[in-house]
Structures are given as structure tokens and as C-alpha cells.
Chain A
Amino acid sequence: MRSKAFKRGLLHGVPIFLGYLAVSFGFGISAVGMGLSIAETVLISMFNLTSAGQMAGAPIIAAGGSFAELAVSQLVINLRYSLMSVSLSQKLDERVRLPHRLLIAFANTDEVFAVSASQDGRVSRAYMYGLALLPILGWTGGTALGAVAGEVLPPIVTASLGVAIYGMFIAIVIPVTRRHLPTAACVLTAVGIGCLFRFVPALSTVSPGFVIIIAAVSASLLLAWLRPIPTEQEKGGGTP
């Protein structure tokens, strides 16, 4: 019974594994380009499992930014995971005890959550362990490959591959803005505030981590107030 659930989880984890290889490869290249070492880059991926959070945190670490900026940016950017964890807590078999919950929580990325949420009935810990295993390996391994490639490949190639992760962000955001206008408004507002901080001399000294926080939180608060989402929709989108 247990190994059957574990194997099913493994199987469901394969597409996530493949996607993570590609995304984390892009992160590996970008992070090394920021000045982080291969080892540092791989460790970041191994212990975080989040692409947006890592893309925001890596430059802060590379530039020697404050711990406050790092902590707050991670908190704000990864806040949606708390919602997913609330959902997952309902989905998880109620017999799953604390030690296993502590482990399963680590791997609760967007994709892992999405797959587990789509299962019928409750999910067992065996299933969750199976589901999470390949994604974790893919995320860490892909990062390692990207980090090495970033050190070895010529600049013109790494510059091209470095935008892969931005391409993926675009691939996630644009389709939603097309079908849901309030999201488009939110996106434009956030970008507008971000550009303000970048190009207005008085504001340009604010570090990028805080700019992301201020812009994203302000835009989301505004749209949440002006155009709340109907309560049937619980899931947020996004990348790990």
C-alpha cells in the first residue's frame, strides 16, 4: 500500500523534475553571473526550492545586502506558500504526524502543491515523499549544471541563457493578464512602481530587494481592494 502510493508520487513527480531541470539551470547560470560561487548557488537551490525567491535573494547575497532585506524579501515573495500549506494541511491524511509534516512542508513548491491538490481524496505521506523526491533532485541538479555551465561557457552564451528564467516569468504572467484584466492592472502597477524606484534619482538608492517588496505589495493590496477575487478560486499561480 505504502510503496504503491510512493511509486505513484514518483511518477507524478517526473514532469515537475523535467521542468525544474530547465528552470534551475537558468537560475544556476544567473546566480553565477552575479558573482556567487558554484557551491553557494547549489546550496541556495538545495535549501530553498523556489525560483522567484531565489532570483530575488541571490543578488542580495551577492551584493552583501542586509539580513533584513533578505528576510523581508523572502517573506513577501514566498508568502503565497503559506496559503498553499493551509490547503495542503487540509489535503494531507490526518494521520500524518508532526515529524513527517515538518519534512513534507519543505518540499511544498507551486508544482508539488498543484499536483497534490489535484489528487482525489486525501494524500498520504508516502505519496508526498514520492512526489517531492525527483523535483528536489531536479532542482538541485539543474542548478549545479547551470552553475558549472555559467562558469565554463563564453559570455555571449551565458548572457543568452541568463534570460531563460525571465522568459519563464513572462510565460507565467502574460497569459493570465490576457484573460484577467485586474491581474494585468496589478502587473502594470507593480512594474510602474518598480520603474519609479529605478529611474527617479531620489528613489534609486533603495535596494532592489526592498523595491520588489514595496512594488509588489502595494500593487497587490490595491487590486485586492479594488478587484477582489471570488472566493471559489483559492490557488495562486507562480513558479517554485
Chain B
Amino acid sequence: MTIRPQFFLYLLVMAGVTYLIRMLPLVLCKRQIKNRFLLSFLYYMPYAVLAVMTVPAMFFETGSLLSAILSFAVAAVLAFFGKSLLTVAAGACGTVFLTDLILLLIQ
């Protein structure tokens, strides 16, 4: 089991920040957040984050650009029609696998 020595410092920073974000309000807060701007910002953030983490990064994660684009399209369509989390993910995975397999075979 390899763990680089500096890894523990990274882990401490990462887990520490995440934990403090969760812990401090739970321990300190007595009242609800009422500020509309802050609430709206906190509403939009998860979607903005997930979106920017997916596009364009996802397109470089597979064996070929084609399989990545197709997989994104399939996932987007499945999600658009309200399919479950696992269905969308499976659709994405299956598309990549099939596309890359076909590309491999026709070369």
C-alpha cells in the first residue's frame, strides 16, 4: 500500500476544510440564514460546480473524443427524460465502452 508522505498533509487540508464547513454552523448557529442573495448563491453553486467539473473535462477522460462526446449526449438525453441516477451513469459507461470497442475493432 503506497502512501506518499506529503499525502497526509493534503488529506488533512482537504478533510479539515470539508469538516469545518460542516461542523462550524452546526455547532455555532442558532438562527436560520435569511439573506436572499446568500441563499440564492448557495442554491446555484452545486449546479455550477458540477457543470464546470463535467464540461469540458469529461471529453478528455476516455479513450477517444468520439466516445466521450457520445457518452455525454446519451447521458444528457437520459437525464433530460428523467431517468434515474444509475440509468444515466450506466448509459454513459455503456456508450463509452461500445464506442471505444468498435473503434478498436475497426482499426
Name the interface residues of B44-82: CB closer than 8 Å to any CB of A: 44-58, 61-63, 67-68, 71-72, 75-76, 78-80, 82
The 6 A-B residue pairs whose C-beta atoms are closest, nearest first, are A238-B46, A167-B92, A167-B89, A174-B79, A160-B97, A224-B40
Question: Would you call the interface of chain A mostly helix, strand, loop, or mixed?
Answer: helix
7 A-B pairs in the complex with CB atoms less than 8 angstroms apart: A22-B89, A160-B97, A163-B89, A167-B89, A170-B88, A229-B40, A234-B32
Q: Residues of A contacting B10 with CB < 8 Å?
A: 60-61, 67, 70
Point out residues on A near B: beta carbons under 8 Å. 19, 22, 26, 30, 37-40, 43-44, 47-50, 52-53, 55-57, 60-61, 64, 67, 70-71, 74-90, 92, 98, 101-102, 104-106, 108, 155-157, 159-178, 182-183, 186-187, 189-191, 193-195, 198, 208, 211-212, 215-217, 219-221, 223-225, 227-229, 231, 233-234, 236-239
B79 engages A50 (CB within 8 Å): no
Bin chain B's interface residue count.
35 or more
Cβ-defined partner of A171 (8 Å) among B48, B49, B71, B85:
B85
Closest to B63 in A: A159
Interface centre among A56, A156, A169, A239 (most CB of B within 10 A): A169
B107 at the interface (CB under 8 A from A): no
Cα distance A168–B51 when bound, in Å?
Answer: 11
A88 engages B26 (CB within 8 Å): yes
Interface centre among B24, B33, B54, B87 (most CB of A within 10 A): B54
B79 engages A39 (CB within 8 Å): no
A170 engages B79 (CB within 8 Å): yes
- Min Cβ gap B55→A in Å is 5
Q: Residues of B contacting A178 with CB < 8 Å?
A: 80
Given the interface contacts A159-B100, A187-B48, A228-B37, does A108 sit within 8 Å of B26 by beta carbon? yes
Q: Residues of A contacting B47 with CB < 8 Å?
A: 172-173, 176-177, 183, 186-187, 190, 237-238
Cα distance A157–B67 when bound, in Å?
Answer: 13
Cα distance A98–B84 when bound, in Å?
Answer: 38
Cβ-defined partner of A48 (8 Å) among B18, B24, B42:
B18
